[in-house]
A and B are shown apart, each in its own frame.
Chain A
Amino acid sequence: MQLKQSNKRKNKKKDEENIMNESDRNLKNNPFRVPEGYFDMLSNDIMQKCVHKEKAKKHTLVELFKPMLKFAAGFAFLFGISMGIMQIVKTAKPETEHYLSQTKEEDAPIIIDQKEMDDAMKEEIITYLVDDDMAYIDLDQQ
């Protein structure tokens, strides 16, 4: 049994040798060619694709995050401003209330009514016109 297997193996090996020896001694030679200088070009191409791709990838990531960074910066700025205003209002409110409670009515600033001011100005103008012998209506029509 073992001898049979051994012979079978030997025959197989013989077949493998025959197949190539019978056909052509040069059969194992590489029948393919490449363009001249191809392998120098190939390594350059590979390096360019890999290294450039990596750089482009890094660049793209920065580009990708740029608008988000801008948005975040804008948001932080607005948040800061809002917080500042809120802080000012918060600190100013008690001071204002304190000031008003301490101030007497006669010391309070005069609040000018716009209508009263207009009437006063009108009267002044009429007085001026009367002094200059002109009718208010003339001025109004001009």
Chain B
Amino acid sequence: MQSELSDKDILEMFATDEGKNFAFGSIVKKYQERIYWHVRKMVLNHDDANDLTQETFIKVWNSLDKFRGESNLYTWIYRIATNEVLAFIEKEKNRRNLSIDDNVAEVSRVLSSDIYFDGDEAQLKLQQALATLPAKQRMVFNMKYFDDMKYEDMSQILDTSVGALKASYHIAVEKIQKFLETN
């Protein structure tokens, strides 16, 4: 069985003409699933998640030679994906101009008819509760609750202090709890 290359090895290989494609292929294989799920939990829809994941890796390909290694490759790719997702959500929000209630109803409608959503009633309710949160707060919640990510890594990805992230997560939990109690 072939062992997975370290990020350092991949980056060194990417810097050479002959190893560039192979190195990039290794990055895609190593991170595509994590990035896809990071995106999917935010946009919910598979097609949108697919497009945004591809866009993320295209951006990685185009800017990897400028990557200075000041952060982990993993957090750097996550940051690109996060920016893609937040920009997409903002664009959709401006285009559709839905209220919070409309947003909840929309999530319910979309997920109920999505063949790639296998969640039960409680999971659907949690998704509805998440739809009431601002995009960045929802992302903080997803990264902590579902992915169990360290606050330090989240801080690098979201460019926010650890303290602010902890506060954001607690507020998100309170809001979700309130939603679940009243709905």
Interface residues of A (CB under 8 A from B): 12, 15-16, 18-20, 23-24, 26-35, 38-39, 42-43, 45-47, 49-51, 53-54
Q: Determine whether the beta carbon of A53 is less than 8 Å from that of B58.
A: yes
CB atoms of A35 and B119 under 8 A apart = no
The answer to whether B177 has its CB under 8 Å from any CB of chain A is: yes
B92 at the interface (CB under 8 A from A): no
Task: Give the interface segment out of B26-34, B72-80, B101-109, B153-161.
Answer: B26-34
The listed residue (B24, B61, B116) touching A33 by CB distance below 8 A is B116
1/0 per residue, CB under 8 A from A, across B1-43: the answer is: 0000000000000000000010011001100110011001100
Residues of A within 8 A of B32 (CB): 39, 42-43, 46
B123 at the interface (CB under 8 A from A): yes
With A45-B54, A50-B61 known as contacts, the answer to whether A23 contacts B116 (CB < 8 A) is no
Closest to B56 in A: A46
* Smallest CB gap from A50: residue in B: B61
A15 with B180, Cβ < 8 A, contacts A23-B122, A47-B21 known: no
Chain B residues with CB under 8 A of A29: 123
Among B83-91, B132-140, B168-176, which stretch is in contact with chain A?
A: B168-176
Q: Is B67 in contact with chain A by the CB < 8 A criterion?
A: no
Report if B53 contacts A (CB, 8 A): yes
List the B side residues contacting A19 at CB < 8 Å.
173, 176-177, 180
10 pairs of residues in contact across A and B, judged by CB atoms under 8 Å: A12-B170, A20-B145, A26-B123, A31-B117, A32-B119, A38-B50, A42-B28, A43-B32, A47-B21, A47-B24
On chain B, the residues within 8 Å of A43 by CB distance are 25, 28-29, 32
- Contact check: which of A18, A24, A39, A45 meets B120 at CB < 8 Å? A24
Residue ID in chain A nearest B177 by CB atoms: A19
A31-B123, A46-B57 given; name 11 further pairs at CB < 8 Å: A15-B177, A16-B170, A31-B117, A31-B118, A31-B119, A31-B124, A32-B40, A32-B44, A47-B25, A49-B54, A49-B58
Give the residues in chain B near A20, CB-CB below 8 Å: 145
How far is A100 from B33 in the complex, measured between Cα atoms in Å?
91
A76: min CB distance to chain B, Å: 32
